[in-house]
Amino acid sequence: MVNSGIPTADLSPFFTEEGDEGGKKKAIEIIGKACSDLGFFQVVNHGVPVELMAKALGGSKEFFGYPSDRKLEASPQPGAPLPAGYGRQPPHSPDKNEFFLMFPPDSTFNVFPSNPQGFSCVLKELFSSFVNTASIVESIINDCLGLPPNFLGEYNNDRKWDLMSTFRYPCASEVENIGVREHKDVNCITFVFQDEVGGLELKADVDQWIPITPDRTTLIVNVGDVVQVLSNDRYKSAGHRVVRQAGRERHSFAFFYNIGGDKWVEPLPHFSTDIDEPPKYRGFLYQDYLQLRLRNKTHPPSRPQDIINISYYSTST
The 3-state secondary structure of the chain, one letter per residue = CCCCCCCEEECHHHHCCCCCHHHHHHHHHHHHHHHHHCCEEEEECCCCCHHHHHHHHHHHHHHHCCCHHHHHHHCCCCCCCCCCEEEEECCCCCCCEEEEEECCCCCCCCCCCCCCCCHHHHHHHHHHHHHHHHHHHHHHHHHHCCCCCCHHHHHCCCHHHCEEEEEEECCCCCCCCEEEEEECCCCCEEEEEECCCCCEEEEEECCEEEECCCCCCCEEEEECHHHHHHCCCCCCCCCEEEECECCECEEEEEEEECCCCCCEECCCHHHCHHHCCCCCECCEEHHHHHHHHHHHHHCCCCCHHHCCCHHHHECCC
Instruction: Tell me the HSE value of 125 on the side-chain side, using a 13 A CA sphere.
Output: 15
The pLDDT of residue 136 is 97
- The per-residue pLDDT for 284 is 97
CATH architecture, range 8-313: Sandwich (2.60)
What is the model's pLDDT at position 94? 53
Distance (Å, rounded) from C-alpha 139 to C-alpha 126? 20
How many residues in total does the chain contain?
317
pLDDT at 202: 95
Q: pLDDT 10s per residue in the chain (317 long)?
A: 444 679 999 999 999 877 789 999 999 999 999 999 999 999 999 999 999 999 999 999 999 999 999 998 888 877 766 778 998 876 555 557 999 999 999 888 788 998 999 999 999 999 999 999 999 999 999 999 999 999 999 999 999 999 999 999 999 888 788 888 899 999 999 999 999 999 999 998 878 899 999 999 999 999 999 999 999 999 999 999 999 999 999 999 999 999 999 999 999 999 999 999 999 999 999 999 999 998 887 777 778 778 889 999 999 86
Each domain of the chain, given as residue ranges in start order, spans 8-313
Instruction: Say which amino acid occupies 311.
Output: S
Look at residue 310 in the predicted model and tell me its pLDDT: 95
